[in-house]
Structure 1
């Protein structure tokens, strides 16, 4: 009898979605319409779609969040996880079976230190202290991040933080793992690590459902099912190889193989510079004796491993962080000592997770927020940033790509001289990345000075004139993009592989 029940449990689909539609509270348009998908236990499913297509909304419904936490939405159809109706099953029962990693994963770091963050789910289910420590150490080793054990989460890079969240989700030993945009924050080594982890989870029989805007080749090769969503509707469900072999489907999935076009450096005065700057998170040195000059009208890329100090250096240049030692010059002033409402007239910073920096309840008000604080008129409209007819939408209800466009509009709203983009292609598919490339070129043509932090090296090659390479907090190379990014032996010595 028990064997029969066990066999039947294995035959139960991990996930069944039947004619599911969803409309957000206060929205007049469905975010999802008539989605159908059956996922067997052990399947590896990859989901494609443009920003705003409904991928994250689908995951939120799949996890039960739209049913149990976000009241007022309208649901049609049915979603089941391991035979349990998501709408009628308590969320505490649902979450025993799955782990989920969202795009904005930093909101899932539930403690101040890495070890505590991974242990948090185990504490919630009453695991004894000794066993908990053993399981945390095992997960740190499995994820290849043992060196992060005693670090504070606020000092982690995007890729490091994501790895910690994945470890915390795996602590529950889930039968299903859901990943929303898994590789955007990862350098090449991070992508290799997550590829191996996915393979190991597959071998353990864990069901995987993954959305990824950058569509790395390995994801199509490892997955056995694919779904493409466009404007809330599914337009394809089947074998991932059909997408690779069909140009129309490949375009709909956002799979465009970008051509590398190196840009030549210019020769202009210095816009902002750092001289022997250092910065530490508590006692850990994140930027160590770095000197760099960024020239007016140039586009400069800052590249390197996850945790190499890229974002910290950029925040020092922007005046967000004050260096422990050394000096930053923005023409004749020091950015950190300039009041924020004056500094935004000179320099604007676009964060990795733009949703964290929105302060108002409508797109229109958000665009006017910074200009009002600075005492100037807003010079950007929603239509100019591709958000026509969304004036009254809440900024946090927008898709990742729409939030990126709104954040760019907010940055441009005071007409600053310098723009800093931190992982601007996160959450964007290849076609959207190409569009962003053209937008950056247009901003440079207007005389803007631009700094880009990114793991998207083809985009760095297409947009930048010069690059700065960081490694363990130090600047280890700088120069013309063409010269630096064709030096394969240099990057091999750093443990980074060029994608061309």
Structure 2
């Protein structure tokens, strides 16, 4: 098959550094293939993407070794503007790419620069907007869009160029699961219909397994494995050694194989996993009824109460419609829903950043409007999706201590609470460092330490796993578990349902501003049709266990790979 890009022994060192970020990478990208690039944070994935556009080294400088040919053009000898006719790129953060004042102008901008005829521009705009669920948004200002919508717009603008090679660096990190599926399906259709080569960096293992033709596994700048998704994702041990999460189907069947049960090929997609179940039914064991655990005891008055809440924005958008719920002291609650479901609007009412159009929000027995800023700060701690937006001091210690004088703490208590919080978040040895000098995951811990110092009863994590690799997401959620064990009430908002079974007790599902479901986590995860209606996908183990339930009187209801694997035994 004809090559669209050829990398020959490529190495690269950024300016003012000594370490090679890319190390002797040789790789051929074929015309019309969908190549996934996987690796932990810091593996060199983004640098490799930039090298494929000529931005590295033309824009960054540094030391570049080897050769890259893109559509036959040497990436060093031809300017980025010329290479851009053959290769397009979508970055993880859409803000760095969006410049126009309307959605349609954003898509038209690059097409006009390439002198695409006006009639063709007008034809392409609705086509690409429909492909990313933004039809009808043509006249909207991009700054009025949600983060996920902005990401879809950046993808649409790149797709409109119809380049021979399209590079997407974590394009789905801010999208709900169904949105992510649609992006994968859209770019695959472009590959199939136009022969466009796709290179995508993503931590979305389930989608990468389903849609990619090949995967390239990077580790510390080295290309350590290239193969089909089946070849790469079936090596569960290799992935875990490189801090990567395999698709949940692969995890489950790998664990079954470890029991001594023969599995010729580890399935890596849901469809192949369901097919593989047929050969395992002889190893199924009867389900042991779960040990009864008493339901969560509700206190007389909830710690947080929402009563018949409505909120309509100034432009007439009804963001919250008659939502009522109570959250008890010590609960760990998951709030989920598609982009635009009303999750963030609801949380802003908890923080008194928005006032109800009608209805009430109570912290304890007091309406949020009656609480001062310091009262709220001592009741509710909030960790934003991007911790950098909450950091502004010159040392970790100063950041953690900053708000305490405003709460009336004495100097001695400020010192005590700051030290306690820093040690609890394993930041004591970094207390004199500049916050922004630490990795992103550590910066999140700084904000949590600052919240802890104020000793709030409730801590809210708003999309804490977005943009994180598996290890980063797990480390943040381990902090949330630690806080829960300390007696805090924890509320987590996330799209990543597969991460939450080990943490949350209860799921609140929102859709289009309404409360669709409020149930124990296991029960909520098996409401697959309802979740789909709000563009959410439960873990693959849910679908595997539901397939097992067919033609069976056993109540298979797993929500993790380990639970599903435990249905099988060599001695059955």
Taking structure 2 as the reference length, the TM-score comes to: 0.73
1:223 to 188, 212, 217: 212
Contact map agreement 1:102 1:181 (CA 8 A) in 2: yes
User: Which 5+ residue runs of structure 1 have no aligned equivalent?
Assistant: 1-9
Equivalent residue in structure 1 for 2:441, among 375, 390, 404: 404
Conserved? CA contact 1:266–1:298, under 8 Å: no
Q: Distance in 2 between matches of 1:17 and 1:279?
A: 57
Change (3 A) 1:102 1:312: farther
Shift of 1:278: 0.6
Structure 2 residue aligned with 1:298: 331
1:141: which partner in 2? 130
State the alpha-carbon separation in 2 of the partners of residues 367 and 87 from structure 1: 45
In structure 2, C-alpha distance between the alignment counterparts of 1:282 and 1:28, rounded to whole Å: 53
- Matching residue of 1:274: 306
C-alpha change, 1:271 and 1:86, in structure 2 (3 Å) is farther
**TM-score of the superposition, structure 1-length normalised?**
0.83
Number of paired residues?
480
CA displacement, residues 421-452 of structure 1 (integer Å, 9 cap, x when unaligned): 22222233445544444332222001222211
Residues 1:16 and 2:47 are matched in the alignment = no
The alpha-carbon distance between structure 1 residues 370 and 154, as it changes in their structure 2 partners (threshold 3 A), is: farther
Contact 1:404 1:424 in 2 (8 A): no
**Corresponding residue number in structure 2 for 1:6:** none
Work out the CA distance in 1 between the residues paired with 2:71 and 2:428: 39
Cα distance in 2 for partners of 1:137, 1:446 equals 52
Shift of 1:240: 2.9
2:49 is paired with a residue of what secondary structure? helix
1:462 match: secondary structure: coil
What do the CA deviations read for 1:17-53 (whole angstroms, capped 9, x no partner)? Answer: 5231223x44454433333322122222111111222
**CA distance 1:31–1:493, change in 2 (3 Å):** closer
SS at match of 2:445: helix
Match of 2:84 in 1: 95
Q: d(CA) in 2 for partners of 1:107 and 1:337? A: 40
Q: Which residue of 1 aligns with 2:46?
A: 56
1:266-324 Cα offsets, whole Å, 9 max, x none, are: 53553333331414263322223333333322211111223212223223323444444
Provide the rounded CA distance (Å) in 2 between the counterparts of 1:302 and 1:324.
21
Q: 274, 280, 286: which is aligned to 2:319?
A: 286
Correspondence for 2:510: 470
Aligned positions of 1:376-387 closer than 5 A = 376=414, 378-379=418-419, 381=422, 384=425
Q: Distance in 2 between matches of 1:404 and 1:177?
A: 29
CA RMSD of aligned residues (A): 3.5
Report the Cα offset of residue 483 of structure 1: 2.9
CA spacing shift, 1:495–1:233, aligned 2, 3 Å: closer
Query: Which ranges in structure 2 are unaligned for 5 or more consecutive residues?
Result: 253-289, 406-413, 543-572
CA distance 1:289–1:109, change in 2 (3 Å)? farther
1:37-84 per-residue CA deviation (whole Å, 9 max, x = no partner) reads: 22122222111111222222332333333424445x443434332233
Give 1:318's match in structure 2, choosing from 329, 332, 351: 351
Task: Note the 1:368-383 alignment, pairs <5 A.
Answer: 368-369=398-399, 371-375=401-405, 376=414, 378-379=418-419, 381=422
Secondary structure of 2:481 counterpart: helix
Secondary structure of the 1:425 match is: coil
Q: Which protein shows a greater Rg?
A: 2
Cα-to-partner distance string for 1:149-203 (whole Å, 9 max, x where unaligned): 3444344344333221110111222111111224333334213312321221111
Contact 1:302–1:454 under 8 Å retained in 2? yes
Q: Which moved more, 1:298-307 or 1:155-164?
A: 155-164
Pick 1 or 2: higher relative contact order, CA cutoff 8 A, min separation 6. Answer: 1
SS at match of 1:51: coil
